[in-house]
Structure 1
Amino acid sequence: MDAMLQQYPVITEIPVAWGEMDALNHVNNVVYFRYFETARLDYFKEASLMDDIKDTGVGPVLGETSARYRLPVTYPDTLLVGSKVTRIEEDRFTMAYEIFSKKMGAVTTRGTALVVMFDFKNNTKAQISPKLRETIEAIEARKVQPANASI
């Protein structure tokens, strides 16, 4: 596995589906944002962020996202998507992603996301709670390698 991927505390394994290919015989660029979304939701699950919405009415919304494509991905392949938080501010945090292809043995794509906390009851931005900040810091303090992610 790429040494950089070891710097991501949450790793999501995603098989490439045939239907994700485009006319140029590689995964369509929009699909990478779905991969990032899947990884982001896995991170949110680790942080119990989606459970908190039920209790507080405050949750994450995507403010901005980007991707940098390095190598085209083709079917069949299995991808490992690393996710981490690189910056925490009062009402938002920045995430980084890295997609590693098992077939190629290389990083194919890097991405970022700006996640803003939002109070859905009052329709306004919200502060990151001390509990969420501590949880993110605890997740970032560990480096995880999934048991099912052998290369």
Structure 2
Amino acid sequence: MSDPSVDERPMPRLRGDYRRFAPIATRWMDNDVYGHVNNAVYYSYFDTAVNRYLIEAGALDLQATHGVIGLVVQTQCRYFAPLAFPQTIEAGLRVARLGRSSVRYEVGLFAAGAASSAAHGHFVHVYVDRATRRPVELPPTLKSALQGLL
């Protein structure tokens, strides 16, 4: 019996698959010796897209030293076309699943103006109490901000 994840060829996503976009400027240090953005840097772009949205939506306070924090527990990225410095990337963002204490963000990275993603992936945050690191229910401010991305 074959593994369906191997049989199904992943395809780029389209802009219409995402609810919000934000620009991300590539940096000289993002490129690797092959002349394009190194694969590991894409995860940094995902993190930037999600946290920028949360800050702008008033759901993430970088100065807070108590309360609830989001921990990344899973990530994945699929690559379709190279991105490189100097280039502006447009990061598309949506929420695919909103749970009691977790959220699955999906991010598409597009060359400026491109119809199809150069890469797309996801990451899952589990929200926990900062002190105990035990899962907690999503705070109302966060839940409200995420509703707009569903």
If the TM-score is normalised by the length of the shorter chain, which range does it land in?
0.7 to 0.9
Q: Quick one: which of 5, 17, 39 aligns to 1:29?
A: 39
Unmatched runs of 5 consecutive residues or more in structure 1 = 142-151
Deviations 1:82-102 (A, max 9, x none): 111111111101000001102
Q: Distance in 1 between matches of 2:85 and 2:116?
A: 15
Aligned: 1:45 with 2:55: yes
Runs of 4+ in 1 over 6 A off after TM superposition: none
Shift of 1:110: 0.2
Q: Distance in 2 between matches of 1:53 and 1:126?
A: 20
Q: Which residue pairs with 1:146 in the alignment? A: none
Unmatched runs of 5 consecutive residues or more in structure 2 = 1-12
Q: Which residue pairs with 1:140 in the alignment? A: 149
Shift of 1:131: 4.0
Q: TM-score, normalised by structure 2?
A: 0.80
**Residues 5 and 121 (structure 1), Cα distance of their counterparts in 2 relative to 1, 3 Å cut:** same
Q: Distance in 2 between matches of 1:54 and 1:19?
A: 30
Q: TM-score, normalised by structure 1?
A: 0.79
Larger helix share, 1 or 2: 1
Aligned: 1:62 with 2:72: yes
Q: Distance in 2 between matches of 1:7 and 1:34?
A: 21
SS at match of 1:114: strand
Q: Distance in 2 between matches of 1:91 and 1:46?
A: 21
Q: Which residue pairs with 1:145 in the alignment? A: none
